[in-house]
A and B are shown apart, each in its own frame.
Chain A
Amino acid sequence: MDVKPVSEAEGVPLLLDPNLFGLFSKRTPADLDTTSDNKEQNEQQPATDHLKPHSSLVNNPFETYEKTPLDQLIPLIVRSRGQGFKFADLSEQLLLNEIEQEQERNGIETHVSDNDNDINKESEESLDQNGLPLKRSTPEATFEANDEHTMSLEKFQQCKRNTIQSLDLALNESSLALEFVSLMLSSVRPSAASASMSPYLKKNVPAGTLSGEKVLLNRPSREETLQKQVINKGWKLRSLEEARSLLKEVYLESTKTLEKERKHWSEISHFISNKDVVFKTRDKDTGERSLGFKYGYRDSGSSYKLDRGIAVLKHNALLRKLELVPIEENAKAVHINQKNREKFLRVRIFTKLQEEDDYILTGESDLDSLLLPEKDEDEEDDMRIQIKRLKFFIFEQELMNRILKESEQLFSYGVSIENENKVVIEFPTEKMEVEYVQLNDDILLNHQQDAPKTNDKRARLFLVMMRLLLVVMYKKQLKGNILSVQQSGAAATKNTRSSNASKLSEPLIIRPILGKIRHNSYLCLLKKIIKDSVLDSVLEKDLRISPKAKTAEDLSASKIFDDHISKLNMEIYAFDEILSVPETEIVVDLAKNGRLLLTLQSPNYCNAITTVKYVDSSENIHFNTRFSDFKELEEFLHFIVTEYVN
């Protein structure tokens, strides 16, 4: 190989090495000046410096300076060009100019120099493409020596091209050969091989991959295939077996679950009716899906907002039964357990002891039958009872709440709020206590032992009436809701609705009852006054007392087409007896002296206003005077009697 002279330590100057291109292209033209010098130097000092001895026939600057490192070469160039020269100023144009000048100066040697020049240029070109110029220069030189003057330029060019082509080819082949050998070597001596490998090869082909290892392809033997078949079959059978047992397991499990579920649903289907509102919800404590039960009166006219009246159905594992557990929404109401909500209203009547400032208990409302411990209950009834109790307690809760609210305004009529669980209504001879009591074992126990008292019935009736009046409030609210929806249509604004609602929810529970009682005592007082002042002169049978006749105008006046409204009206009207403002007319027949008409009204249920008219024998009405003070009334009656009757 021609590349052999190159020392191994320096490495093989491969065509692919880009460093070389730059090095030579810069160096070659610069060498032109020193061509002859170098030649001489080469001949005289074959082994100086890094310049290799060679026997080339042409001046080849590449050979001369081939191994000169750039850091030595550049100063050399700079030095050769004399003082004041900067390497940076060196340009191609400058060099070309210099070459021209040189040619002009050495006129005789033109041709040779031309050739030299060309060769140099060509070597430059060939270097650009292939690198090593060594091989090429030899035939050229020979050719030059022999046919220097006989060859035309054209032919020369032709030869040159051919030469370059062959050179390129050879260079390429040798490079490939080198790569191949390096790669082959790399499996044995990786470091040595990698030194001669091109960066491209190193990057793309792993070292040692060109080793001649032999891979055996074993065709499976008869036993092996058989074994595989067996294994395959085994796995399949196994997976089938697994599937079978899985399905079986799920089947058994599902059967169990199903039975449980069936029982659960049949229980539920037995205790709920189609009127109950049961809905799917999540148990807040456990996060499980569960059923919610709405027991509050919200949808039935209640506007009570402190308790929504919703319970969650839970399975009590301890008692093995279903339980409805109310959802606690009000953070303020801290109930330690469910039992704490079990409060009910109790009415007690205390009678004043004569000539003593003390009261004795003479009557007490009894426990609702619902609160008494049930004896033997079956499961379905148990749920029903649970629901009833929940409804009962929430109703009582609201009732107490309403009573408290109402009582705030009844202070001047003898109603006082003792505490948030107790309201006391005082009358001249007795007092009534409405108390919100926690249901506990003591109460349940004592209840059975209590001896009946004289006013028990009245206490019970009092309690029943309060409850009825709360229901009537619901009815009014429902009516109001329907009317407000009808009036404002679909576009019912919330404002009108709520204002309507608040107006309707004005509590009327204690007031009508209290009014009835007060009215009655006013009436007694009035009768006494009349007796004292008038009946001395007339007979008692001439005194006629009649409560104001009920008017059915509520029902007849407005034509009602809505079934709901008419039903509600009917129901509200049914309580007119209690809810209408009390009014009583008293007619005192004074025989030939005409008659006395007195009307006792109780506006606001609790006040008393008496209107007095005197009709004389000739049906002339004298006076039509209203009194709110009985003392004045008494005096006025005296006046009439003395003036007209006697």
Chain B
Amino acid sequence: MPQPEYINERLEALNDIDKELVIILSNASQVIGTLAGLKSGNEAMKPQFESHVKAFYSSLERASVDLRREIKHLDDNIGTRLLPINLDKKATGQDDEKLQEQLELLERELKRQ
């Protein structure tokens, strides 16, 4: 049963943030890698180092900003789309489900033959 559009959007956004977060790790790894290169005297790596540092911080910024936005979304929807904290969800409506199902079955059975 698919989720409502809005929820899917949120989940998608969260997935993107996850990806961005992991990329930060990769960026950091590259920054340190080029840093080691610089330290061993390879001055040619300087531009590379700089671009990796830039990438690291921009990824971090993006992830942080997006995550902040998602938290905001969450906050906005508590009480409307989302249940307030500390409120247990109840499995209501299963009676209706069964009633509907059995009534349909009843109708079908009566029409049979």
B7, B25, B26, B91: most-surrounded residue (chain A CB, <10 A)? B91
Let me know if A271 and B91 touch, CB within 8 A. no
Let me know if B1 and A457 touch, CB within 8 A. no
Q: How distant is A157 from chain B, measured CB to nearest CB, in Å?
A: 86
CB of B67 within 8 A of chain A? no
Let me know if A468 and B1 touch, CB within 8 A. no
CB of A516 within 8 A of chain B? no
With a CB–CB cut-off of 8 A, which chain A residues contact B91? Answer: 275-277, 294-300
Band of interface residues on B = 35 or more
Residue-wise, chain B 64-96 has the 8 Å CB interface mask toward A (1 for contact) of: 000000000000000000000000111111111
CA distance A279 to B3 in the complex (A): 17
CB of A136 within 8 A of chain B? no
Closest to A271 in B: B1
Let me know if B94 and A297 touch, CB within 8 A. yes
Q: Which of B2-39 contact A (CB under 8 A)?
A: 2-4, 7-8, 11, 15, 18-19, 22-23, 25-26, 28-30, 32-33, 35-36, 39
With a CB–CB cut-off of 8 A, which chain B residues contact A294? Answer: 91
CA distance A61 to B18 in the complex (A): 101
In the complex, identify which listed stretch (A33-41, A207-215, A244-252, A317-325) lies at the interface while the others stay far away: A244-252
Q: How distant is A258 from chain B, measured CB to nearest CB, in Å?
A: 5
Q: How distant is A467 from chain B, measured CB to nearest CB, in Å?
A: 5
CB of A50 within 8 A of chain B? no
Q: Which single member of B19, B92, B102 contacts A258 (CB below 8 Å)?
A: B19
CA distance A273 to B93 in the complex (A): 12
CA distance A247 to B29 in the complex (A): 5
Let me know if B112 and A457 touch, CB within 8 A. yes
CB of B110 within 8 A of chain A? yes
With a CB–CB cut-off of 8 A, which chain A residues contact B22? Answer: 251, 254-255, 258
Let me know if B40 and A237 touch, CB within 8 A. yes
B15, B23, B93, B94: most-surrounded residue (chain A CB, <10 A)? B94
CA distance A207 to B15 in the complex (A): 74
CB of A503 within 8 A of chain B? no
Residue-wise, chain B 91-113 has the 8 Å CB interface mask toward A (1 for contact) of: 11111111100110110011011
CB of A274 within 8 A of chain B? yes
Q: Is the interface of B mostly helix, strand, loop or mixed?
A: helix
Let me know if B1 and A272 touch, CB within 8 A. yes
Q: Which of A565-614 contact B (CB under 8 A)?
A: 571
With a CB–CB cut-off of 8 A, which chain B residues contact A237? Answer: 36, 39-40
CA distance A464 to B111 in the complex (A): 14
Let me know if B94 and A270 touch, CB within 8 A. no
Q: Which of A222-241 contact B (CB under 8 A)?
A: 233, 236-237, 240-241
Q: Which single member of B3, B36, B110 contacts A244 (CB below 8 Å)?
A: B36
With a CB–CB cut-off of 8 A, which chain B residues contact A411? Answer: none
CA distance A231 to B113 in the complex (A): 93
CA distance A468 to B103 in the complex (A): 8
Band of interface residues on A = 35 or more
CA distance A295 to B15 in the complex (A): 29
CB of A523 within 8 A of chain B? no
CB of A461 within 8 A of chain B? yes
Let me know if B90 and A384 touch, CB within 8 A. no
CA distance A465 to B28 in the complex (A): 67
Residue-wise, chain A 252-287 has the 8 Å CB interface mask toward B (1 for contact) of: 001100100110011001111111110100000000
Closest to A477 in B: B95
Closest to B103 in A: A468
Let me know if B99 and A248 touch, CB within 8 A. no
Let me know if B102 and A275 touch, CB within 8 A. no
CA distance A153 to B77 in the complex (A): 111
With a CB–CB cut-off of 8 A, which chain A residues contact B18? Answer: 258, 261-262
Q: Which single member of A251, A279, A475, A571 contacts B89 (CB below 8 Å)?
A: A279
Let me know if B102 and A297 touch, CB within 8 A. no
CA distance A83 to B4 in the complex (A): 123
Let me know if B25 and A265 touch, CB within 8 A. no
Binding site for B on A (CB under 8 A): 233, 236-237, 240-241, 243-245, 247-248, 250-251, 254-255, 258, 261-262, 265-266, 269-277, 279, 294-301, 380, 384, 391, 395, 457, 460-461, 464-465, 467-468, 471, 474-475, 478, 571
Q: What are 28 A-B interface contacts by the 8 Å CB criterion?
A: A233-B39, A236-B39, A237-B39, A240-B32, A244-B32, A244-B36, A247-B26, A247-B28, A247-B32, A254-B25, A255-B22, A258-B19, A270-B2, A273-B3, A277-B89, A277-B91, A296-B91, A297-B91, A297-B98, A300-B92, A300-B93, A300-B94, A384-B1, A391-B98, A461-B106, A461-B109, A464-B102, A471-B99
Binding site for A on B (CB under 8 A): 1-4, 7-8, 11, 15, 18-19, 22-23, 25-26, 28-30, 32-33, 35-36, 39-40, 88-99, 102-103, 105-106, 109-110, 112-113
Top 4 closest pairs, chain A to chain B, by CB: A247-B29, A300-B94, A299-B90, A251-B25
